Amino acid sequence: MRTGYSLVQIGLHWLVALIVPVQYLTGGSIEKIHHALHMGITPSDWDVVQHQIHNYAGIAIGLLMGARLVLRLLQPPEAAAPGTWAGRAATALHHAFYAAIIGQACTGFVASYFWFGIAPYHVIGSKIILAMVALHLAAAAWHTLVARDDTVDRMLLPRRKQSAKNI
């Protein structure tokens, strides 16, 4: 049996991975809009569109990560390196991703619809997540290019269910 994740878990991972860069590309529009409004200028239509994309993509990410968390709790992956420092670090990073990204979606929602005063924490959260993504990508590269193990395959190829023949 291959260790790892289900096809749904893999699909959700890659869907979030595709949407997260959109957030970094559209986030600057919010500051431009607020600056324009404070100056008494009408913001550009493109900035307004980007702001909306940023808001709705953020809500989508929050919902997708919530679904990922529920699936992870219901169908936990088998540990790749249980008990090792690397295994513990990977588990800690994954738990931190769930907390940071879901927290980021929540602070963005609050900043957009209820209280803009939380926005500085949302900006700090984006920098933390960016650092975590860099660490995550570095670890994936290390596993692929240096260790040459099947760690990255776990998020590319779904685990197989154990058949009665294999028991």
CATH number, domain of 77, equals 1.20.950
Q: Coil, strand, or helix at residue 4? A: coil
Assess if residue 1 is contained within a domain. Answer: no
Q: Closest Cα to residue 53, out of 19, 93, 83?
A: 19
The mean pLDDT values, 10 residues at a time, for the chain of 167 residues are 75 95 94 89 94 97 96 80 79 92 97 94 96 94 88 77 50
Distance CA 147, CA 14 (A): 23
Distance CA 101, CA 17 (A): 11
Write down the pLDDT at residue 79.
64
Locate 31 and state its tokens: 């500051």
Domain assignment of residue 129, given as a range: 7-161
Assess if residue 167 is contained within a domain. Answer: no
